[in-house]
Structure 1
Amino acid sequence: MAPYNRPLEPSIAAQVAVLCSFPKVGFQVRDVRCGWEDAEFADRFTVLVPCGWDKLEWYVQFNASRPGDPPDVIFHSSPNGLRFHPLLLPGAASASDSSSWGLLKDWQQNDSYRLVRLLLHLRALFLQQQRRQAEAVEDERVKFELGTLAHQEFEVYAPLAAGKSSPEELQLAVPVLGVDLRPLTLFRWWSEWLKRCGSDLQLRLLIKFPISGSSSSAGFKPSTPQLKLDAPPLLLSLLGFPETKLPAWTDSMCTVAYLPELAAFIHQRLDDAVSSMQSRADFVSALPAVFGQPLETDTQLFSQTTVFVSASNCMFLVRIALPPSFPQQQPSLTLQSAHHFTAANRPVSSEPISSFPWSPRWATAQMAQRLGSFLEEEGAPFKRFCVDVSRGAGPARP
């Protein structure tokens, strides 16, 4: 089946758009295809379904000529996929709207949330199967971790390797509770983002334990698991991940004991990030008094802004990159001419400049003023640099 380049059938496209924007799970769609070469629209695709550390591949197949029909969902031919038969599970044949059959019955192509509801239901059934698979494992560590988490919400994934009849690792996804994101409401963009996410926004700890197969406490030797924080990418970036390391897991720890330490760590990271972002926002707010209104600004993280400068008969843009550790770490500047071009017809630009008068102890107004004075002095040498480059004889940097 060739992946003919066609747009999705409109009602299917609407359902895919809702699926990809659903914040709680993080579905992804790829390999959009047509059923046949002369088809007007594409109608089938692969959905990446997050489960623990992994992403399952489920193949969704509509019929573009009959978009009102429910889709087929084909599960990946892995050992886990071959064992998953959601329509044969107890209660699956029920006609209720919440059952597998109920979601497929009377499929409404104009209901753009129908596909996401179906895949959420199938994912929930798959995770139920995974939990039963994990609970059947004769391993002291697995039983201990599942037992201590019994009274709270969590997801289990116990993947089977090829040729194996029992899982070799246990993956958990546990919500991190007690993290207050309200400090982000100080910033308009983040306040609106939090409202859009609503209750679907979650921070989760992903944990991966090896399964030793020890069925007695005498052979119970806790090993350090792999850890990862799962959250929307923009929030992870704000908190400094993946560069930031999670708190260490000690030998005597279990998941329940680790979660409060992680929540306190994230709360401190959030406070630091909000403080730094406020400093960057204050600096950007001080720029108009010196340069006029910035031409563009990153209003999500305040990580960069662009101002227009005219000095020594040279007009140029200055792109100011503000690091996460601002103001302790000074910005970097890239100058771009407004009227000099390279042989490739691109604006002449400088290399990033990170050596100029700076002190994190200055008030933001003084930072902006000192930056303006520096750029006033840079006008003449940057103009000479631009002229040389535009003539094909320029140095590497001004």
Structure 2
Amino acid sequence: MGAGTENVPPFIGAQLSHLLSHSRLTLKIDQLWSSDKYNSGLIDRFTLLIPYCLDFIKWDIIFDAESPNVAPDVIFGPEDEHFHPFHMSPPSVEPNNNNNNSSLLSDWNYKDPKCLLNFIQFLRDQYVLYQAKRVGEVDDDRLKFEISTIVSREGLEMHMCSFVDKSEEVKFAVPLLDMNINKMVSGCPWRQSQKIYLQVVYPVGRKYMSAPSAPRLKLVSSSELKALYSIDDVKLPPWLNGMCLADIFQI
């Protein structure tokens, strides 16, 4: 896990090591610290950087070094104060049928190194649903139409961005190329699946605007893939009046 982890209790270290080495995403540790305000005791909490929508979300993972049988608390970002993952259900699941989800906490076993990995994967999956719900509630007819043209694309992620000094925006991360890039590279060194995405930043329209603003488009790939194949010189077509996102994927 790197330097500065010698004071991490073994039961936390095992969970964290398994999380970082087996996650389907490239997770990062931003900082580690102790529940002791003087930071002189055992390190039992850390900030986790989780890839989402071509950016990172920060969650604080709070263990108790003296209570290994207790699942960690998670502190989400201040912009996600309404994110309540255990009070959400996928559309195909009955709202009260959350026994399996709750067992992630009630059946916590510090001796099982997969517990933290399963917990974080569940929270992120719920976060995808939460952000999709937030975006779906935006009162913008053009945005709703754009979503309807791409919502069926597998792996689509969206994020509602609110600002103090400017209008809201919705970000989309749309996977491109329906192929396994890893299998195309001889002796593939990558553990995570490599993809190329279309990043779309869509301004949320105001009712008084005569015409919707054009979205900002950009191709994005992982740093590992970029080292092999640069997409920086790939030119996207200009956004013309009357276009929609579905047109981009047909060009």
Q: Deviations over 1:318-352 (max 9, x none)?
A: xxxxxxxxxxxxxxxxxxxxxxxxxxxxxxxxxxx
1:159 matched to 2:144? The reply is no
Change (3 A) 1:223 1:163: closer
Gaps of 5+ in 2: 90-94
Deviation digits for residues 112-152 of structure 1, max 9, x if unmatched? 22212212211222221211111121213311211101322
CA 1:244 to 1:18, structure 2 compared with 1: closer, same or farther past 3 Å? farther
Work out the number of aligned pairs and report it.
238
Tell me the residue number matched to 2:177: 177
Which whole-Å deviations, capped at 9, do the CAs of 1:267-309 have from their partners, x for residues lacking one?
xxxxxxxxxxxxxxxxxxxxxxxxxxxxxxxxxxxxxxxxxxx
- How far off its partner does 1:63 sit? 1.2
SS in 2 for 1:161: coil
Shift of 1:214: 4.3
| AA at the equivalent of 1:10 | P
What pairs with 1:33-44 in structure 2 (closer than 5 Å)? 33-36=33-36, 37-39=39-41, 41-44=42-45
Alignment CA distance shift 1:204-1:17 (3 Å): farther
The whole-number CA distance in structure 1 between the counterparts of 2:113 and 2:55 is 27
Whether the aligned pair in 2 keeps the contact of 1:68 and 1:107 (CA below 8 Å) is: yes
Question: What is the alpha-carbon distance in structure 2 between the residues aligned to residue 89 and residue 133 of structure 1?
Answer: 13
Q: AA paired with 1:169?
A: E
- 238, 245, 248: which is aligned to 1:258? 248
Q: For residues 9-158 of structure 1, what are the structure 2 equivalents within 5 Å?
A: 9-22=9-22, 24-36=24-36, 37-39=39-41, 41-78=42-79, 81-89=80-88, 91=95, 94-96=98-100, 99=101, 101-153=102-154, 154-158=156-160
Instruction: Give, in angstroms, the shift of residue 74 of structure 1.
Output: 0.8
For the Cα contact (< 8 Å) 1:140–1:214, is it kept in 2?
no
**CA-CA distance at 1:6 after TM superposition:** 4.7
Alpha-carbon shift at residue 92 of structure 1 (Å): 7.2
8 Å contact kept, 1:224–1:249: no
Rounded to whole Å, the distance in 2 between the matches of 1:151 and 1:213 is 26
Structure 2: which amino acid aligns with 1:254? C
1:247 aligns with 2:236: yes
CA RMSD of aligned residues (A): 2.9
Rounded Cα–Cα distance in structure 1 between residues aligned with 2:60 and 2:6:
18
Q: CA deviation at 1:27?
A: 2.1
**Pairing 1:320-335 to 2, within 5 Å after superposition:** none
Letter in 1 for 2:202: F
- Percent of aligned pairs with the same residue? 24
Given that 2:161 and 2:168 are in contact with CA atoms closer than 8 Å, whether structure 1 keeps it comes out as: yes
After TM superposition, give the deviation of residue 11 of structure 1 in Å. 2.5
Structure 1: distance between partners of 2:49 and 2:239 = 33
Q: Cα distance, 1:23 vs. partner?
A: 5.8
Unaligned residue ranges in structure 1 (runs of 5+): 262-398
What one-letter code is carried by the residue in structure 1 that aligns with 2:45? R
**What is the Cα deviation at residue 256 of structure 1?**
2.9
| Normalised TM-score (structure 2) | 0.80
8 A contact 1:141–1:220 mirrored in 2: no
Q: State the Cα distance separating 1:220 from its structure 2 match.
A: 4.4
Q: Would you identify which runs of 4 or more consecutive aligned residues in structure 1 move more than 6 Å? A: none
Normalised TM-score (structure 1): 0.53
The structure-2 alpha-carbon separation of the partners of 1:56 and 1:63, relative to structure 1 and needing over 3 Å to count, comes to same
C-alpha contact (below 8 Å) 2:23/2:117 kept by paired residues: no
Q: Distance in 1 between matches of 2:250 and 2:179?
A: 10
Query: 228, 231, 235: which one pairs with 2:225?
Result: 235
Work out which structure has the larger RCO, using CA pairs closer than 8 Å and 6 or more positions apart in sequence.
2
Residues 339-378 of structure 1, C-alpha deviation per residue, up to 9 Å, x if partnerless?
Answer: xxxxxxxxxxxxxxxxxxxxxxxxxxxxxxxxxxxxxxxx
After TM superposition, the structure 1 = structure 2 runs for residues 150-299 of structure 1, keeping only pairs within 5 Å, are: 150-153=151-154, 154-162=156-164, 168-179=168-179, 181=181, 182-185=183-186, 188=187, 190=188, 193=189, 196-197=191-192, 200-214=193-207, 219-231=210-222, 233-241=223-231, 243-251=232-240, 252-259=242-249, 261=251
